[in-house]
């Protein structure tokens, strides 16, 4: 059985223009092209399109997707890997749902519903969030390090991710306490905390001075990163960036 490009577009939600583009770049060719110029796809093409869309959901680029599909790896093994990643993402979203639900419940316990001091444990506000990491820029500037980080994150279980996120949030609060107290970023106590931060980053990739300073700058430049830090304390993203810059200059140069 075969399906026209219009039918495939309707079933998959992918536009006909995108399907034609996939053909042009050698990613998904139709089974044949009719005398009317219309493209037709068979079951193998639909299965290939499903894999393309799954990998797009995982933020792989078209070139990477083509390399995977052309590697002739076992199709079931690839689907199992996709399934594993999707289950992990489901667990992350469930954690986010619990985080938001808990925040709603604690706010509703307050009389006015707007006073953030009613939150019993502020670190719980951030359970389930993943770092933004300015993905496109990091991928472009440090492709090997990005790939190392991606593999490390994928190896983490849902429990690992939750524990790691709690550690990150607790550290954000410690940095905020230094900042509110007016402690200079070059202070030994602050730099000791930065060293803990650096060692945590090294769980995923090992930045040199330039890479660590680049990461520090993303905390300010990336809107999601900056918002997450500045929710703890206004100006925290900039404070951490400056502290990391001191560390990079003194310890990594």
CATH architecture of the domain with range 3-69? Orthogonal Bundle (1.10)
pLDDT in tens, the chain (253 residues): 889 999 999 998 888 989 999 999 888 999 999 988 889 999 889 988 988 887 777 666 787 778 777 765 566 666 676 677 677 777 767 776 776 676 667 667 664 545 444 444 444 445 554 544 445 555 555 566 666 666 776 777 767 777 777 788 788 888 988 998 899 999 999 999 999 999 988 888 788 898 889 889 888 887 777 877 887 788 899 999 999 999 999 999 8
pLDDT at site 116: 44
pLDDT at 110: 61
| pLDDT for the residue 7 | 92
Q: State residue 77's pLDDT score.
A: 67
> What is the per-residue pLDDT for 187?
96
Amino acid 118: pLDDT: 45
Listed by start position, the domains of the chain span 3-69, 75-252
Does the global pTM surpass 0.75? no
Q: What is the pLDDT of residue 123?
A: 46
Q: State the SS3 of the chain.
A: CCEEHHHHHHHHCCCHHHHHHHHHCCCCCCCEECCCCCEEECHHHHHHHHHHHHHHHCCCCHHHHHHHHCCCCCHHHHHHHHHHHHHHHHHHHHHHHHHHHHHHHHHHHCCCCCCHHHCCCHHHHHCCCCCCCCHHHHHHHCHHHHHHHHHHHHCCCHHHHHHHHHHHHHHHHHHHHHHHCCCCCCCHHHHHHHHHHHHHHCCCCCCCHHHHHHHHHHHHHCHHHHHHHHHHCCCHHHHHHHHHHHHHHHHHC
Q: Do domains 3-69 and 75-252 have the same CATH topology?
A: no
Give the pLDDT score at 250. 94
Q: Which CATH number fits domain 75-252: 1.20.1730.10, 1.10.490.50, 1.20.1560.10, 3.30.110.60?
A: 1.10.490.50
């Amino acid at each position: 059985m075969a399906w026209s490009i219009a039918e495939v577009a309707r079933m998959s939600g992918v536009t006909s223009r995108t399907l034609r583009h996939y053909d042009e770049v050698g990613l998904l060719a139709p089974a044949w092209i009719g005398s009317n110029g219309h493209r037709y796809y068979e079951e193998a093409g639909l299965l290939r399109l499903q894999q393309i869309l799954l990998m797009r959901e995982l933020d792989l680029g078209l070139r990477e997707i083509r390399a995977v599909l052309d590697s002739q790896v076992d199709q079931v093994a690839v689907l199992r890997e996709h399934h594993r990643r999707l289950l992990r993402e489901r667990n992350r979203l469930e954690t986010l749902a619990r985080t938001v639900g808990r925040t709603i419940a604690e706010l509703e316990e307050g009389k006015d519903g707007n006073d953030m001091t009613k939150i019993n444990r502020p670190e719980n506000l951030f359970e389930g969030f993943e770092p933004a990491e300015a993905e496109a820029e990091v991928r472009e500037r440090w492709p090997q390090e990005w790939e190392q980080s991606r593999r490390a994150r994928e190896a983490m279980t849902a429990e690992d991710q939750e524990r790691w996120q709690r550690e990150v949030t607790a550290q954000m609060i410690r940095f905020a306490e230094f900042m509110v107290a007016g402690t200079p970023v070059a202070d030994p106590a602050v730099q000791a905390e930065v060293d803990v931060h650096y060692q945590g980053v090294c769980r995923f990739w090992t930045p040199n001075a330039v890479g660590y300073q680049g990461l520090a700058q993303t905390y300010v430049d990336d809107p999601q990163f900056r918002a997450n830090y500045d929710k703890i304390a206004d100006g925290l993203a900039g404070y951490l960036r400056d502290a990391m810059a001191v560390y990079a200059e003194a310890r990594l140069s």
